Amino acid sequence: MATLLKVVNNVLKGGKHYLTSDYKTRNESRSAHNGMDLVGPNGIDDIVAIERGTVTYTGYDSSGGYWLAITTNGIEHRYFHLKEGSLRVSKGSKVNKGDVIATMGATGNATGNNLHFAIYKNGYVDPKPYLMNENPFNLSDENNAYTTFIRDLQQAIGANVDGIAGPETLAKTPTISTSAGWNHLAVRPLQVYLQSLGYDLGSHGIDGKFGKDMKACIKKYQKDVGLLPKYQDGIVSAKMYTWQKLLKLK
């Protein structure tokens, strides 16, 4: 009998998570269970990433069927029995929490459409706490600062405010320098974020103005993130490489 779980972090797009087989429980004719099987209330459901991270594996095997792994803070969340042809990501893709990554299916050793969800942390561990607890991947304050930065920046530049950086946010980024956009509304959230990363803003601190100290700060950031010397100019050019690094799009 399926049990409805009240989860904090979704892995099914519909938000209803019915548990049909728990971690390490199986009937006597089947092997030990390294994850948990979940279904939605209306048959097949789309699968969403439980947390943001990087896709580190996609493939197929006779037991798990089509499956993929996403790594967050050194921990893999694995999604098995995916419908053939339904994957919306590939190895190396960056995904955000709640992104649709595939559709549940019955590939591999499955008795029906379901998601086999597992957590791999130096071996398989019980995945239930990752569904039930706030911030189970122990994301650092830097990640929280990043989300705040993206939201504040989006508001400043007139982009959709969702805390997720994408093409629309990048497309609306302004040029900021000591001569252009020096007092743009985007300067303050940029200063707050750089300070959270440990950068010295100089004597003026967070003042919403792009002066000589900010130029020096940006030049150091550009060097630290590996931009070519010709782009280590202390200018945050609209839609260009420094913004791409700040938004984690490159």
Cα 143 from Cα 139, distance rounded (Å): 6
Domain carrying residue 44? 3-132
**Residue 33 and residue 21 in contact, taking contact as beta carbons nearer than 8 Å:** yes
Predicted local distance difference test score (pLDDT) of residue 143 = 61
CATH code of the domain covering residue 110: 2.70.70.10
**116 and 19 co-located in one domain:** yes
**190 and 166 co-located in one domain:** yes
**90 and 149 co-located in one domain:** no
**48 and 159 co-located in one domain:** no
User: Cα separations (Å) of 162 from 15, 137, 151, 186?
Assistant: 19, 21, 6, 16
**109 and 222 co-located in one domain:** no
Rounded to 5 degrees, φ, ψ at 151 are -65, -45
What mean pLDDT value characterizes the chain? Answer: 91
210-226 residue pLDDT tens: 999 999 999 999 999 99
Confidence of residue 1 (pLDDT cuts 50, 70, 90): low
CB atoms under 10 Å from CB of 180, counted, come to 14
150-206 residue pLDDT tens: 999 999 999 988 888 989 999 999 999 999 999 999 999 999 999 888 888 988 889
**120 and 179 co-located in one domain:** no
Cα 124 from Cα 130, distance rounded (Å): 13
